Structure formats: C-alpha cells, structure tokens
Amino acid sequence: MKEQCSIEVHNLTTTYGNTPVLWDVDFELPSGQIIGIIGPNGSGKTTLLKTIMGLLSPASGYVKIFDKNIDQMRERIAYVPQRESVDWDFPASVFDVVKMGRYRSNNLFRRSTKTDLAIVEESIEKVGLSDFRNRQISQLSGGQQQRVFIARALAQKADIYLMDEPFVGVDAATENAILSLLQEMKKDGKTVLMIHHDLQTVSDYFDYLVLLNTRLIAKGTPQEVLTEENLSNAYGGQLTLLAKVANLIKENEFPIRERDVDL
C-alpha cells in the first residue's frame, strides 16, 4: 500500500530562547513529490527541517513521518545539512564521508559490510564523483562538496530526503545534475523536501510548495502558492520586486512569445 502522506506537521511551535521561530505551523505533505520550502531569511526554514528531524525539540505540537514518530522512522528519512555547517578541512576522503551514510546506531562497532561498500560506490557514481572517490574533501569545489553530501544521503537508502539549501554556492552544471537526480528519485517513489531560495526557479523545480515566514503563509501547488498576495504576506516590504516575480511567473505560465526578462 502506498502511503499518501509523507510528513505531517501538527500545530508546531519552536522557539529559540523566548523568541518563536516557528509559530503554529500545520501541514501535511504528499509523498512521492519534490517539495520546496520557501520564505525570506530568518523565516524558520532550517529550524523547520531540524525540528522535523528531531534535532530541535518543539515547544508544542508534533511531527509524524508516515504516521509514526521520527525515532521509529530514522531508517526511512535522510538529512542533508547546509554545506557550511561542517568543517571541510576534516581529514577524510569522499569515500569516507559517503560511507557515513551507512552508519547506524547499531553498527558503529562493526566493520562495514560488502553490501554497505557497494551501496557507497553506487551512490558516489550516481552523483558523478567516481573520479574523485579518494580525493580529500577539502580539495573539492563547493558544488562537488554538495554532491558528496547528497551521495551520503543516497547511501542511506531512505524514502524521504530533507535537504537544506542544496543549491547554494553550486555551479549551473551541478544544479542541473542534482535536478535530474531528483527527478530520478521521484520516479522511484521517493519524497524530497528541500529548502530553496531562488524564487525564479521554484515553479520549474517543485510539485508542491510550503511558503513560510515564522507562520505558515501558504501551501499547495506552485500555482496556488505563488500569488502576489501570498508573496507579499511572506516577504513584506519588498513589494516591487515581488510584483515583478509574480508577473514573471504568470508570463512563464502563459507565454505570449519567447523573451528574456531581467529582474
């Protein structure tokens, strides 16, 4: 039986000190789709991912993964943190880092099995880093480092993938490579939930959107979410820019003729 709802977030409030970062956020996400989380800086996007993963505990509300508690579902959910969150001078090779995707709390004291190593090789190949498998991670470009992180998540063989801004500091070639990888994952029935910052590309990349600014502003298909009203509710003051974005989206969806538009 196929599960309809991948992640359920119920009345979730997360605070940092006394300041709420997420306030009463409530949604259910479909499974087997590529889902984007958008919102201005400081709107709680990363906090939302961390709360879903159980890295932060909510002040109130709960999160369910396939209708179960996260701790029962760890095997089925993979997390890709922000690339800047780790020290890339750490003495490890691409292979070492991707191998961490096979680590579990119950196999830390055992050697990696042959199956594990085969999965690691396969994941490295999927992100196109086979030629770099023994390369020290500090000697990779930003895009390559991001692909190492994605390979590590692939090695987890999960059903849901949470990614924190995988397109930041990444060249166009890598962005395209990651995108086609995501499409492949979607074909295999995987769910991807990703924080994204570039409003120009959201309607191309995502099947479903969550628009956030501490509170949940809107959720649904890109067409439903990307209205001028929703965007100005989320982004506030930057109205002129947003009007342009909204127009741009409309034009892209109902093109009269091909043209280049500069924001």
What are the residues binding another protein (CB under 8 A)? 17, 50, 53-55, 71, 74, 77-79, 81, 85-87, 89-93, 96-97, 100, 103-105, 108-109, 136, 152, 156
Quickly list DSSP for 54-74: TSS--SEEEEEETTB-GGGSG
Q: Which is nearer to another protein, 50 or 219 (CB)?
A: 50
Q: Which is nearer to another protein, 86 or 241 (CB)?
A: 86
Sign, Cα dihedral of 64, 67, 68, 73: negative
CB of 72 to another protein, least distance (A): 10
CB of 114 to another protein, least distance (A): 17
Q: Which is nearer to another protein, 194 or 246 (CB)?
A: 194
CB of 90 to another protein, least distance (A): 5
Task: Match 């996007």 to its residue by tokens.
Answer: 45
> H or E stretch including 9?
strand 5-16
Q: Which is nearer to another protein, 92 or 179 (CB)?
A: 92
For the chain, the C-alpha Rg in angstroms (whole number) is 19
- Helix ranges (DSSP H) in the chain: 45-52, 94-99, 114-126, 142-154, 172-187, 202-205, 222-225, 228-235, 239-253
CB of 16 to another protein, least distance (A): 8
Q: Which is nearer to another protein, 89 or 258 (CB)?
A: 89
138, 167 contact by CB (below 8 A): no
Q: Which is nearer to another protein, 50 or 196 (CB)?
A: 50
Q: Which is nearer to another protein, 139 or 176 (CB)?
A: 139
CB of 42 to another protein, least distance (A): 17
CB of 48 to another protein, least distance (A): 14
253, 203 contact by CB (below 8 A): yes
CB of 255 to another protein, least distance (A): 42
Residue 10: what are its φ and ψ, rounded to 5°? -115, 115
8, 67 contact by CB (below 8 A): yes
Q: For the chain, what percentages of helix, strand and coil (3-state, to nearest 5) are there? A: 40, 25, 35
Q: How many helices (H) and strands (E) does the chain have?
A: 9, 9
